[in-house]
């Protein structure tokens, strides 16, 4: 046992940009399936890019709270949902519920 590495065991590494982009895209894909509405591919790409930028700007906080799905879903409701709802012409409460159902928060 090495006492020097004891505190490193629980430290989370930051994900790569590729992992973040894929996770954001996957979460929005699942959300789109829950709202059951066709969304144009260019709007999907814009939403993916918007979500990726928001996550990248708050990456440290998101990694720290990565195990708390409810807190992450609350963050999504406040910071991401209104802009994507406007982009996709969807009610924000409907989009927020679809995200929570698919994300698990």
Residue 9 lies in a domain: no
Residue 56 lies in a domain: yes
50: how many CB neighbours lie within 10 A of its CB? 16
Give the span between the Cα atoms of 78 and 83, in whole angstroms: 10
Q: Which of 55, 64, 68, 65 is nearest to 17 (CA)?
A: 55
- For residue range 26-81, list pLDDT tens digits in order: 999 999 999 999 999 999 999 999 999 999 999 999 999 989 999 999 999 999 99
Residue 61 lies in a domain: yes
Please tell me the predicted confidence (pLDDT) of residue 104: 85
Confidence of residue 99 (pLDDT cuts 50, 70, 90): very high
Task: Retrieve residue 45's tokens.
Answer: 């790409």
Residue 44 lies in a domain: yes
Q: Which domain holds residue 28?
A: 15-103
Residue 10 lies in a domain: no
Residue 55 lies in a domain: yes
Tally of structural domains, the chain = 1
Question: The whole model's pTM is what?
Answer: 0.85
Q: Which of 51, 59, 46 is nearest to 22 (CA)?
A: 51
Residue 8 lies in a domain: no
60: how many CB neighbours lie within 10 A of its CB? 10
Task: Decide if 62 contacts 72 (C-beta within 8 A).
Answer: yes
Residue 74 lies in a domain: yes
Q: Report which of residues 80 and 1 the model is more confident about.
A: 80
């Amino acid at each position: 046992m090495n006492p020097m590495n004891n505190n490193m065991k629980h430290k989370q590494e930051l994900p790569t940009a590729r992992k973040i982009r894929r996770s954001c895209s996957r979460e929005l894909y699942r959300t789109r399936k829950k709202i059951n509405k066709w969304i144009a591919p260019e709007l999907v790409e814009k939403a993916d890019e918007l979500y990726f930028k928001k996550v990248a700007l708050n990456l440290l906080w998101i990694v720290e709270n990565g195990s708390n799905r409810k807190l992450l879903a609350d963050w999504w409701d406040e910071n991401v949902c209104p802009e994507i709802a406007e982009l996709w012409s969807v009610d924000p409460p409907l989009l927020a519920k679809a995200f929570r159902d698919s994300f698990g928060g």
